[in-house]
Amino acid sequence: MQPARELVIREMGLRVQLAERWRTLAWDRASLWSSTPEGWADGPRARVPVEALRDSGSRRNVYWAGLEADGSGLLIAPLAATTNLRAGDSPRELVLSDFLDSGDFLGKFDRDTTEKKLPAAEKLIGGFTIYLLKEAEWAKLVR
């Protein structure tokens, strides 16, 4: 994106509508702690039911996100170093995005995102690569 005039952006990303077969969500993200507390289900690498994200709001600094069905997986990797993952507007919707100047918005349902002002002619580059993985490939990734 390279606007001809100043542009204000709240969020940029990929909205994913999930088919019913995708029931498990997985991710790998930058660790929030030097060691995850015992029994804590929110470590840097996780596999949870898709609905679990709706209860918690979001995940920040995600290296990749994946959806699992019948042992195979759909891997979504950002072109940038990390992305953010949040529940969408409908029950079967996920959003992978960059809150471009988010402060501490993620996980805070009561706060708005901060807007990014993109000056005229400044380039903003982003995107995702999507892979469909066979059962053996998916198993190596999420084990």
Residue 68 has a CB neighbour count (10 Å cut-off) of 22
What's the number of domains the chain is made of? Answer: 1
**pLDDT surpassing 80 at residue 121:** yes
Task: Establish if 73 belongs to a structural domain.
Answer: yes
**pLDDT surpassing 60 at residue 44:** yes
Q: Are 13 and 83 in contact (CB under 8 A)?
A: yes
Displacement of CA 19 from its chain's centroid (Å): 17
Task: Establish if 2 belongs to a structural domain.
Answer: no
Domain containing residue 63: 7-31+43-142
For the entire predicted model, the pTM comes to 0.76
Mean pLDDT of 38-44: 58
Residue 90 tokens, joined: 């409908």
Q: Which of 113 and 54 is assigned the larger pLDDT?
A: 54
Task: Establish if 129 belongs to a structural domain.
Answer: yes
Task: Establish if 1 belongs to a structural domain.
Answer: no
Task: Establish if 103 belongs to a structural domain.
Answer: yes
Task: Establish if 37 belongs to a structural domain.
Answer: no
